[in-house]
Chain A
Amino acid sequence: QQQVKQSPQSLIVQKGGIPIINCAYENTAFDYFPWYQQFPGKGPALLIAIRPDVSEKKEGRFTISFNKSAKQFSLHIMDSQPGDSATYFCAAKDQTGANNLFFGTGTRLTVIP
């Protein structure tokens, strides 16, 4: 059973476009929602994260939008660049449990020059 549902599975945008990746969850005990970025041949690395007490967080060209009532969160990449081509994973952590992260299935983003 997938605790965090991610879509789309793949995404192709032109340079300068704004790709949006969506995630949804059911567990209201989740209290931390990170996004990880993975380049080919590398392990995932933390990109940006949000806690449920805020609705938006920006770091550079990356923005997380968070809708607590809908139990959804999304990643927006402004002015996307070919160097942003990677696989993106959303995740969530349960406040009641250990430091486990539940990951989405990933989105392969390709930014065409």
Chain B
Amino acid sequence: SQQGEEDPQALSIQEGENATMNCSYKTSINNLQWYRQNSGRGLVHLILIRSNEREKHSGRLRVTLDTSKKSSSLLITASRAADTASYFCATGEGGSEKLVFGKGTKLTVNP
């Protein structure tokens, strides 16, 4: 069953704008990860944030985590057409390597 739920389901922006995607989850987690999937391809890991962290940066990506609200956000700054893809959050629980994925946000960046 889905743990994370991304919002919005679809997002269309112009190149150069920022894109923000949100993820909400239900149970306690020990880490949350964001993945990108280009059309017809496998998922690619973007960033991991642990439950004791509040914010993390990687290049043009910024991830925040609010465990009290059980939510996370992914911000892509200065978006490019190449950022067009689906973005998934995945949550890890307990001592398991298992991840539970949301259904994703489909981002379209128009040139």
The answer to whether A and B come from one shared complex is: no
The interface of chain B, by Cβ under 8 A from chain A, is none
Q: Which A residues lie at the B interface, using CB under 8 A? A: none
